[in-house]
A = this chain, B = another copy of it.
Amino acid sequence: MKNDRIYFWQMINPKEPFELMEKSFAALEKGEVLVKVAGCGVCHTDLSFWYFGVKTRHELPLALGHEISGTVIDGEPEWIGNHVIVPAVLPCGECTMCKKGRSNICRNQLMPGNDFDGGFASHVKVPAKFLCPVPDGVLSKYPLEQLSVVADAVSTPYQVMEKSELEAGDLAIAIGVGGIGTYGAQISKIKGAKVLALDISDEKLTMIKDAGIDATLNVKNMDAKSLKANVKEIAKELGASSAGWKVFEMSGTKTGQELAFNLLSFGGTLSVVGFTMDKVEVRLSNLMAFDAKAIGTWGCKAELYPEIVRLIGERKIKIEPFIETFPMSKINEVFQNSLEHKYSKRPILTPDFD
């Protein structure tokens, strides 16, 4: 590995293996920095780009990866040497949406591994403006690469919990406790909700129960009616209200979304956090009949990152039980295994280009 080269795994075509490429350090413009990647998480969105027909905004070939932590080694002087998390959504900070406090849907936003070469690489070139510095106190507890999951898996559900107006005492129903859902369930617990996790994997349900979630339910082969009856029963046991449920769909599957919509009742809120290209058939009028709502969230405002890092530093949000690191050279194997649902933990790839 040469000192002035960037090595990266490039997606050439959908469904084909990533290829190892190299290029020289591009010149940095004002406001930009070069980040030496510590780790980059493999997100369901990467699988969507690679396998499920979602198009990257920048044309292929492209290095994927938007869940990045690393160290600034070049560019804006005040950033050099900083250990940082690169937000998955990098807003402009100047437009109407940004000024309205909706920077996560800034129309000038840039997303690594979507608008430009991302984190499955030795280095990424990014705007410095919204990087989230990782304090030493947090780094003394977690290796930097593990914190890469903050950039999407932890921050996206964090933002949605805010948007859903989750309150202490509410029943929070986390559907799917995989890559995103594990954090969503924990964050709703921190907000004081009574938390019920639904999944089809006993292993994942056990893991999330160990992280302090109130109740779990395996919903494999469960029909909508039995599910609702079960959830009502659990709500009662937990002392939560029978109305105003906050449902968080974090499985990113058609089945999960259908279950989620069917759990909407009076004053309920469905938060669509996971993504699937599949359409679902729903009675939209239920929103009216139940005075309910369905909200979605794209990424997370960079402004919220420091608070998330703080919660991880205080071990209020646990990350270690839910992640597993692999050398980046295993990228093709890891993507294939992710596709086949072989992991119960989120894979993080760490650069091994030496």
Contact = CB atoms under 8 A, between A and B. Distances in A.
A351 B282 CA distance: 40
A278 to B, nearest CB: 7
A188 to B, nearest CB: 17
Interface string A240-282: 0101100001001000010001000011000011111111111
B288 A275 contact: yes
A104 B290 CA distance: 10
Contact of A257 (B97, B261, B267, B284): B284
Contacts of A275: 285, 288-289
A287 interface: yes
Given A267-B102, A281-B281, A298 B293 contact: no
Nearest to A292: B296
Contacts of A104: 291
Contact of A290 (B273, B282, B286, B296): B296
A283 interface: yes
Contacts of A282: 279-280, 282, 284
A105 interface: yes
Given A105-B243, A267-B97, A267-B105, A284 B288 contact: no
Most B C-beta atoms less than 10 A away, residue of A243, A267, A284: A284
Q: Is the interface of A mostly helix, strand, loop or mixed?
A: loop
Interface in A87-105: 96-97, 102, 104-105
Contact of A297 (B273, B279, B284, B288): B288
A107 interface: yes
A80 interface: no
Contact of A287 (B266, B288, B294): B294
A186 B274 CA distance: 37
Nearest to A260: B284
A295 interface: yes
Contacts of A96: 241
A287 B279 contact: no
B285 A291 contact: no
Interface of A: 96-97, 102, 104-105, 107, 241, 243-244, 249, 252, 257, 261, 266-267, 272-298
Shortest 6 CB-CB distances between A and B: which pairs?
A287-B296, A288-B296, A291-B298, A293-B295, A105-B291, A272-B287
Given A279-B283, A284-B294, A290-B298, 7 more contacts: A97-B244, A107-B243, A257-B285, A275-B289, A287-B295, A288-B296, A291-B297
